[in-house]
Amino acid sequence: MNVNRRLSTPVTSAKAVYEAIVIGSGYGASVAVNRLAGLGVDVALLERGPERVPGEFPKTLIDAAQEFQLQRKSSHVGREDGLFDLRVQEDVSVLLGCGLGGTSLINGNVMLQPEAAVLQAAEWPSVLRNDADGALAAGYKRALLMLESTPYPNTVTLEKLTALKQQASALNATMTLPPINVTFSEREDTIGASQPACTLCGDCCSGCNVGAKNTTAMNYLHDAKDKGAALFTGAQVQWVEQTAQGYRVHYDLIGPAAQGEQPAPTSRSMECKTLFLGAGTLGSTEIMLRSKARGLELSMRLGEGFSGNGDVLAFGYNNDVRVNGIGIGHPPRDGADPVGPVIAGLIDLRNSGKLATNIVIQEGALPSPLAPLLPAMLGSASPLFGVDTDHGDSTAEVLRTLKSLARGAYKGAVANTQTFLVMAHEASQGRMQLTDDALTINWPDAGRDPVFQHISALLEKATAATGGTYIANPIWSKTLGRNLVSVHPLGGCSMGDTSDQGVVDDRGRVFDGAGGVYAGLHVLDGSIIPGSLGVNPSLTITAVAERALALYSR
Ligand SMILES: Cc1cc2nc3c(=O)[nH]c(=O)nc-3n(C[C@H](O)[C@H](O)[C@H](O)COP(=O)(O)OP(=O)(O)OC[C@H]3O[C@@H](n4cnc5c(N)ncnc54)[C@H](O)[C@@H]3O)c2cc1C
Ligand code: SF4
Q: What is the pLDDT of residues 56-95, one digit of tens each?
A: 999 999 999 999 999 998 899 999 999 999 999 988 999 9
Provide the whole-model pTM: 0.97
Mutate to test the pocket of ligand 2, among 183, 195, 201 (most ligand atoms within 8 A of CB): 201
Angle at 323 between CA 59 and CA 407, to 5 degrees: 60
Give all strands (DSSP E) within 110-202, no chain letters.
Answer: 175-176, 187-188, 194-195
Identity of the amino acid at 76: H
Residues 6+ apart with CB under 8 A from 3: 53, 54, 195, 196, 211, 218
pLDDT at 415 over 80: yes
Return the best residue to mutate from 155, 156, 198, 326 for the ligand 2 pocket (most ligand atoms within 8 A of CB): 198
* pLDDT score, position 334: 85
Ligand with an atom nearest the CA of residue 231: 1
Phi, psi of 158 (to 5 degrees): -100, 130
Any ligand 1 atom below 6 A from CB of 108: yes
In the structure, which protein residues have their CB atom closer than 6 angstroms to any atom of ligand 2? 182, 198-204, 208, 210, 212-213, 341-342
DSSP letter for each residue of 347-397: EEE--SSSGGG-EEEEEEPBPGGGGGGHHHHHHHHHHHHEEE---S-HHHH
Please report the atom of ligand 1 found closest to the CA of residue 278.
25
**What are the Cα distances from residue 384, in Å, to 160, 174, 317, 463, 472?**
25, 32, 13, 17, 11
Which long-range CB contacts under 8 A does 226-229 form with residues at least 24 apart?
227/34, 227/37, 227/38, 228/37, 228/40, 228/42, 229/33, 229/34, 229/36, 229/37, 229/43, 229/44, 229/45
- CA 110 / ligand 2 centre spacing (Å): 13
The amino acid at residue 165 is K
Three-state DSSP state, 262: coil
According to DSSP, the residues that pair with 510 across neighbouring strands are 504
Q: Distance (Å, rounded) from C-alpha 119 to C-alpha 3?
A: 36
- Of 214-218, 332-336, 361-365, least confident by mean pLDDT is 332-336
The reported pLDDT for the residue numbered 191 is 64
Domain boundaries, the chain: 8-150+207-286+494-550, 151-206+310-487
Query: Residue 190: what pLDDT?
Result: 63
Nearest CA to ligand 2 atom 5: 213
Average pLDDT over every residue of 408-425? 97
* Total H helices, total E strands in the chain: 13, 25
Question: Could you report the per-residue pLDDT of 264-286, keeping only the tens digit for each?
Answer: 557 999 999 999 999 999 999 99
**Confidence band of 404 (pLDDT split at 50, 70, 90):** very high
Separation CA 26–CA 239 (nearest Å): 19
**Ligand approaching nearest to the C-alpha of 439:** 1
H/E stretch holding 250: strand 247-253
List, for residues 93-129, the tens digit of each pLDDT value: 999 999 999 999 999 999 999 999 999 999 999 999 9
Residue-wise pLDDT tens digits, 186-204? 987 666 678 999 999 999 9
What's the gap in Å between 335 CA and the centre of ligand 1?
A: 34
**Residue 508 CB less than 6 A away from ligand 1:** no
Give me the architecture of the 8-150+207-286+494-550 domain, per CATH: 3-Layer(bba) Sandwich (3.50)
Residue 209 to residues 44, 151, 183, 203, Cα–Cα distance (Å): 27, 21, 13, 8
Residues in the chain: 554
Please state, in angstroms and rounded to a whole number, the distance separating the CA atoms of residues 94 and 69. 12
Q: Which atom of ligand 1 is nearest to the CA of 46?
A: 43
Question: Rounded to the nearest whole angstrom, what is the distance from the C-alpha of residue 327 to the centroid of ligand 2?
Answer: 9
Which atom, in ligand 2's list, is nearest to the CA of 365? 1
